[in-house]
Chain A
Amino acid sequence: MSNSIRALMGACAIGALATAASAETITVATVNNGDMIRMQGLMDEFNAEYPDIEVEWVTLEENVLRQRVTQDVAAKGGQFDVMTIGTYEVPIWGAQGWLVSLNDLPEEWDADDILPAIRGGLTVDGELYAAPFYGESSMVMYRKDLMEKAGMEMPEAPTWDDISAAAEAMTDKDNEIYGICLRGKAGWGENMAFLSAMANSFGARWFDEDWNAQFDSEAWANTLNTYMDLMTNYGPPGASTNGFNENLSLFQQGKCGMWIDATVAASFVTNPNDSSVADQVGFALAPDNGLGKRGNWLWAWSLGIPAGTDSEEAAKTFVAWATSKEYTELVAEKEGWANVPPGTRTSLYENEEYQKVPFAEMTLNSIEAADPNQPTVDPVPYTGVQFVAIPEFAGIGTQVGQEFSAALAGQQSVEQALENAQAITTDEMEAAGY
């Protein structure tokens, strides 16, 4: 027994030593996406400017990262000095006091240059709790050649009826061409991200002002019926398991006429190394129904600093560098303008070089068309476009997503799915005390 206690004490001592020795080492937790990996390759540039800050990277898959950093910030584990978090986490964590306010970043960082829609989603009570690294919305990506063949033209701001007509015209199932590819895989960040944003354009909402679930509304029935019609008539087979990657793969192989998904996909589908349709892709705003809201979402991967870190100053220095205008220029110089992290700064979209990138304008227009503080036609008590920024949402959203995915797979009817969604949401919200 005494031996094991000794071993534990030894372990503690080693742990303490490790912390003491790494006073100016900061650990950055991040996701595996192209922009983040690119930044890891540019650390020499950072160190040339700040030789006394050493940056260690922990790269994880998005969902693993989310669980890992949530656990660490809630338990005050102190594992990370900078965390890559999304627009869903920032308002919740900021309100909990888990994040350091970034209102005091240096003047030249220029907070006023951040796109208002993005900045709004990262601010709680006037305090900016995370610095946006890259922002995205969703938009329509379509095949110009197939549209031409069908004798149609895609409007810049299509309605859902336009989408439906285009999907019908482009579908050619004998040649494995499906008019439209949409997310069907269950999850709050998977099919529910798409469907919640789509519902906004149909005048639906998750909750009324008193936090009552709204799945029994006609607007939700219209949303889901339209989605089902599109997917069963013009969608690819087995769509109920398709997420971003599956649809990306289908689109790159020329099997989708349209794909409504993240703006970040534009750089993938137009990359001739991976995409067989690279020179045939057109872009349009996410569809609407003339109700004043479009079916596009808003997301920003942002860098936040957990409260209680030992290296707050070093972390702030790093965050300011990584999200600065200078960083954008550095990437442009090394890798070209198409590879700079998009969607965070007004100045980027005013840059003439950047305006030449084919998807730049549509990305900006899409981001500006989303308003996380007023996401729906009718008023709601929450913020967030494709999510509801309350801690309970991740669980509820995923359960509801499973109901909708089951409906798409043909295991239940739309009515049944909506009924179940209503029951699940009502129960969970009651249990959570709303």
Chain B
Amino acid sequence: MARAVTTQRKALNTLAAWTVGLLIFFPILWTILTSFKTEAAAIADPPVFLFFDWTTENYSAVMQRSDYAQFLWNSIVIAGGSTVLGLIVAIPAAWSMAFVPSKRTKDILLWMLSTKMLPAVGVLYPIYLLFIRLGLLDTKIGLTLVLMLINLPIIVWMLYTYFREIPGEILEAARMDGASLRDEILYVLTPMAVPGIASTLLLNFILAWNEAFWTLNLTAAKAAPLTAFIASYSSPEGLFYAKLSAASTMAIAPILIMGWFSQKQLVRGLTFGAVK
């Protein structure tokens, strides 16, 4: 009897999980489907779900009009660069906060997070003017720096929670064995925290990839990533939904595929430290 109930519950849970999952994924699925419709089918009312004339004309139109490879490369450099740079800064910072906290550590953590509470547009002008002065407008290095700084609080916070799960005694033992601070972080702490670091890396890569405020405002022709590529297909006067969907699908495809392959890491990392 007990077994039957469990199976039933399991089935119910699975069903619920699938429902929620599909609901969340539906807009993306719809975008992908729309990208294969003609412009007329894209706006049809009632909307058509699967039974329409599939076409790839939107993709060829988009490829012909825009230099997808350049946008993609910019996205990879900016998202990858800002994440790696962020980790280089955040690992030592999180180490010190987790293992040698001072009286002010909690305050500093909160203060860091508070920088995320201001809407980005509030500092647009100061940053824009700084970028003009420094010649950083429309450069990949400028965007990399900005995205790194924006995501830094999240990176530090995530790493801090992971590091707190690692017993300080292990690091102490390493120190007793004569490991320097550098060795301790590089050879003891980092390998133990790999799931945490990996999920931080993945999450921040996704955040940086999708960041659409600074990437649109601080770039023009040279450093524009895929967010700008999508924006160039949106229009208030003219129906370009199918082409816009094709551009969106092309922009999210790399990150979607990456997320699919690394979902194990991602889930493990995100739940790491959840059970105390």
Interface of A toward B, CB cutoff 8 Å? 8, 10-12, 14-16, 18-19, 27, 29, 31-34, 37, 40-41, 56-64, 68, 71, 75-80, 189-190, 243-245, 248-249, 252-253, 255, 262, 264-265, 268, 273-276
With the chains together, A201 CA to B191 CA distance in Å?
A: 74
The 5 closest A-B pairs by CB, nearest first: A15-B135, A59-B232, A61-B234, A56-B221, A249-B43
Query: Is the contact region of chain B dominated by helix, strand, or loop, or is it mixed?
Result: loop
**5 A-B pairs with C-beta separation under 8 A:** A33-B238, A58-B228, A64-B231, A75-B132, A79-B138
Chain A residues near B236: list those with CB within 8 A.
Answer: 61-63, 189-190, 243-245
In angstroms, Cα B40 to Cα A75, docked, is: 42
Contact A58-B233, Cβ < 8 Å, known A79-B138, A253-B44: no
- In Å, the complex CA distance between A68 and B55 comes to 34
Q: Is the CB of B217 within 8 A of A71?
A: yes
Instruction: Decide if B190 is an interface residue (CB 8 Å cutoff).
Output: no
Instruction: Tell which of A11, A56, A68, A76 touches B132, judged by Cβ atoms closer than 8 Å.
Output: A76
Specify the chain B residue showing the minimal Cβ separation from A265: B237
Distance in Å from the Cβ of B78 to the closest Cβ of chain A?
14
Chain B nearest Cβ from A318, distance in angstroms: 14
A61-B235 contact, Cβ under 8 Å, with A68-B216, A75-B128, A274-B40: yes
B64 nearest CB neighbor, chain A only: A41
Known: A58-B221, A75-B125. A11 touches B237 (CB 8 A): no
Q: How far is the CB of B222 from chain A (nearest CB, A)?
A: 7
* Known contacts A12-B134, A14-B135, A276-B40; 13 further A-B pairs (Cβ under 8 A): A11-B134, A16-B135, A32-B235, A34-B238, A63-B236, A68-B217, A71-B125, A77-B137, A245-B237, A249-B45, A252-B239, A253-B45, A273-B39
A78 and B180 CA atoms in complex are apart in Å by 49
Complex alpha-carbon distance, A68 and B227, angstroms: 14
Known contacts A75-B125, A245-B239; decide if A32 and B136 are in contact (CB<8 Å). Answer: no
Return the contact of A244 from the options B45, B134, B136, B237 (Cβ within 8 A): B237
Q: Are A273 and B222 in contact (CB under 8 A)?
A: no
In this complex, which of A18, A59, A189, A264 has the most chain B Cβ atoms within 10 angstroms of its Cβ? A59
Chain A residue nearest to B45 (CB atoms) is: A253
In the complex where A14-B141, A29-B220, A249-B43 touch, is A268 in contact with B232 (Cβ < 8 A)? no
Which residues from chain B contact A64 at a C-beta distance below 8 Å?
Answer: 216, 231, 234
The answer to whether A245 touches B238 (Cβ under 8 A) is yes
Q: How far is the CA of A31 from the CA of B238 in the complex (A)?
A: 11
CB atoms of B216 and A32 under 8 A apart: no
Tell which of B44, B139, B145, B216 touches A14, judged by Cβ atoms closer than 8 Å: B139
Q: Which residue of the partner chain A has the closest CB to B217?
A: A68
- Cβ distance A258 to chain B, nearest Cβ, rounded Å: 19
